[in-house]
Amino acid sequence: MTALQSSTESTITVRNPATGAVSGTVPIDDPETVAAKAAELVQAQPEWEALGPTGRKRWMLKWQGWILDNADRITEVLMSETGKSHVDASLEPVATGDAIAYWATHAKEFLADRHPKAHSPIYRVKRFTTAYRPYPLVGVITPWNFPFAMPGLDVPPALAAGAAVLLKPSEVTPLSAVEFVRGWAEIGAPSVLGLTTGYGATGQAVIEHADFLQFTGSTATGRKVAVACAQRLIPYGLELGGKDPAIVLADADLDRAANGIAWGGLFNSGQVCVSVERIYVEAPVYDEFVAKLAARVGEVRQGPDGDTGAMATDAQRDIVAQHVDDATAAGARVLTGGKPTGVGTFFAPTVLADVNPSMTCMTEETFGPTLPVIKVADENEAIRLANDSPYGLSATVWTGDSRRGERLARRLEVGAVNVNDALVNVFCPGLPMGGWKQSGIGYRAGGPSGIIKYCRQQAITAPRLPTQKSELLWYPATKRGMAIALAFMRMFSARGRRRFGLRPRNG
């Protein structure tokens, strides 16, 4: 295991899964400690909100600068607790800096009051305003696969909205989150970003004190989180498991498809919620594509200085091995890889051919460096099989005709589709990222909606004209006043003779 509870049950010892070396320790916060941290954050939040988007922008961009200045050290911490390659780990702090800049610079626009028009002339005497007020405390619970970038996706928009944030990282990889919060403190920013570390009880305590909860993790745990939030009647967002399909059509550039799918399936050793996990290839190009994919995957280098790193835990490596063993026992062929390397938690990048839809490598989330491939007759069979899953996070379509790819995208039951590319939507905060089916509830990012979700919407009505002492519907009610009010409502909403309280001529 990467994270081990010490004999004193007061700290978590974190080990590098690639080498077994101790990387560091963090405390286990009990519920009382979480409650105290939450209370401090809530106390500091009003002043943070009062700064407004422009005042908050200054601190957030200063934080971004700290992260970029310390990117090398953050990368080393990431590698030490996850076993990632330097290539994969180095992307996280830079991508986080990009996200911070986006939310900091767009918050003023996205949070500006809206003034909807009156739906009826009756209400044109009123001025309507929709205002956005942040939830006082946002709880963010993140997984082990991207321990710096995942907070980087969810925390910045919440801070930009004016909320305080309590971050609870996975017990497997908490050290990167320590750096994430350290940067905020070292720039002297207001005390509205806190960290709590521990196991399930710590996460439960976060839910008990948050006003909004953002969770990323497995579907099974997500269900428990949803129940806990429902019991408190607090809103939440869940980004859960995936089993993302890739469809390769006969007119595709097979070299690009093989290169893109290899990266989309093996990035971070396949430990990505939007990894390519199953591939459907039209029959005329199946053999050629599989050969190209196997050749490309066979060239992938593993290790700290290679392309990909280790699996984050022994358990995750064993799940990958079980899926591959189940497939080969049922007749699938291993074209490359197929086994743990015998070093740490590394698993060799794997391509499986002659796969059928019932195999666990096609039905269950693998979360590892495997690429199982199925031959299909045409695009319709590919769409049908791709949609035959309880998951619906994202997908890729590979074709020589991008318009055709976009048409097929609209037939896929997923939250995002990349045509002739992979993972790119994750790096674009103007797009919503969320899952259909059992892949989640709600969305992260998505432009204005990505920051407004951390806010309570407030409707304000005010008169445009001098007011009278009473209104037609106010007490004491009169027949004349009611008749006038109803007549105007009919006149501006009904159609035909009904506008005047008359029945249509045809009855």
pLDDT of residue 2: 45
**Residue 306 scores a pLDDT above 90:** yes
CA angle, 44 then 46 then 48, to 5°: 75
Mean pLDDT of 435-446: 96
Mean pLDDT of 424-452: 96
Distance of CA 358 to the CA centre of its chain: 28
Burial 65-102 (b: 16+ CB within 10 A, else e): ebbbebbeebbebbbbbbbbbbbbbbbbbbbbbebbbb
Alpha helices (runs of H) in 312-422, residue ranges in sequence order: 314-329, 360-363, 379-387, 402-409
CA distances from 407 to 255, 363, 383 (A): 22, 25, 11
Q: How confident is the model at residue 1 (pLDDT cuts 50, 70, 90)?
A: very low
Q: How confident is the model at residue 317 (pLDDT cuts 50, 70, 90)?
A: very high
Strand 236-239 relative to strand 440-441, pairing: antiparallel
Asked whether residue 466 is domain-assigned, the answer is: no
**Residue 501 scores a pLDDT above 50:** yes
The enclosing domain of 265 has a CATH number of: 3.40.309.10
Catalytic residue among 81, 92, 179, 239: 239
The answer to whether residues 271 and 230 belong to one domain is: no
Phi, psi angles (nearest 5°) of residue 194: -120, 165
Asked whether residue 369 is domain-assigned, the answer is: yes
The answer to whether residues 279 and 333 belong to one domain is: yes
> pTM for this one?
0.95
pLDDT digit string (tens) for 240-250? 999 999 999 99
Instruction: Tell me the sheet residues that pair with 25.
Output: 13
pLDDT of residue 302: 97
The enclosing domain of 71 has a CATH number of: 3.40.605.10
Mean pLDDT of 441-450: 96
**Contacts with 223 (C-beta within 8 Å, 6 or more apart), sequence order:** none
Where does a domain end: 435, 457, 479?
457
d(CA 363, CA 75): 34
The answer to whether residues 105 and 253 belong to one domain is: no
d(CA 242, CA 250): 26
The answer to whether residues 95 and 218 belong to one domain is: yes
Angle, helix 52-69 to helix 86-111, in steps of 10 degrees: 170
**Residue 298 scores a pLDDT above 70:** yes
Phi, psi angles (nearest 5°) of residue 213: -125, 125
Mean pLDDT of 158-169: 98
d(CA 40, CA 158): 17
d(CA 202, CA 198): 5
Strand 455-463 relative to strand 126-134, pairing: antiparallel
Asked whether residue 441 is domain-assigned, the answer is: no
The answer to whether residues 304 and 328 belong to one domain is: yes
Q: How confident is the model at residue 7 (pLDDT cuts 50, 70, 90)?
A: very low
Tell me the pLDDT of the chain averaged across its residues.
96
> What percentage of residues in the chain have a pLDDT greater than 90?
92
Instruction: Tell me the sheet residues that pair with 432.
Output: 445
Structure tokens, 467: 């007011």
The answer to whether residues 159 and 55 belong to one domain is: yes
d(CA 147, CA 140): 12
Mean pLDDT of 20-48: 98
Instruction: Specify whether 179 is catalytic.
Output: no
List the beta strands (DSSP E) in 93-145. 126-134, 137-141
The answer to whether residues 261 and 375 belong to one domain is: yes
Which residue, 154, 26, 24, is CA-closest to 82?
24
The answer to whether residues 227 and 268 belong to one domain is: no
pLDDT of residue 50: 98
**Contacts with 186 (C-beta within 8 Å, 6 or more apart), sequence order:** 66
Asked whether residue 464 is domain-assigned, the answer is: no
pLDDT of residue 180: 98
Q: How confident is the model at residue 473 (pLDDT cuts 50, 70, 90)?
A: confident
Whether the bond into 476 is cis, omega within 30 of 0: yes
Mean pLDDT of 241-266: 98
pLDDT of residue 8: 58
The answer to whether residues 282 and 330 belong to one domain is: yes
pLDDT of residue 413: 98
Taken as a whole, the chain contains a residue count of: 507
Phi, psi angles (nearest 5°) of residue 131: -110, 155
The answer to whether residues 372 and 408 belong to one domain is: yes
The answer to whether residues 265 and 120 belong to one domain is: no
pLDDT of residue 506: 72
Mean pLDDT of 56-81: 98
pLDDT digit string (tens) for 91-109? 999 999 999 999 999 999 9
Asked whether residue 438 is domain-assigned, the answer is: no
Q: How confident is the model at residue 507 (pLDDT cuts 50, 70, 90)?
A: low
The answer to whether residues 283 and 223 belong to one domain is: no
d(CA 408, CA 414): 12
**Contacts with 22 (C-beta within 8 Å, 6 or more apart), sequence order:** 13, 14, 15, 16
Residue found by looking up tokens 């009611």 in the block: 482
For residues 130 and 111, the answer to whether their CB atoms sit within 8 Å is no
Asked whether residue 47 is domain-assigned, the answer is: yes
Which residue, 271, 303, 368, 312, is CA-closest to 2?
312
Mean pLDDT of 487-501: 88
Strand 444-445 relative to strand 455-463, pairing: unpaired
> What percentage of residues in the chain have a pLDDT greater than 70?
98
d(CA 345, CA 313): 7
Asked whether residue 3 is domain-assigned, the answer is: no
Name the residue range of residue 53's domain: 11-240+447-457
pLDDT digit string (tens) for 357-413? 999 999 999 999 999 999 999 999 999 999 999 999 999 999 999 999 999 999 999
Give Rg (Cα) of the chain. Answer: 27
Domain count, the chain: 3
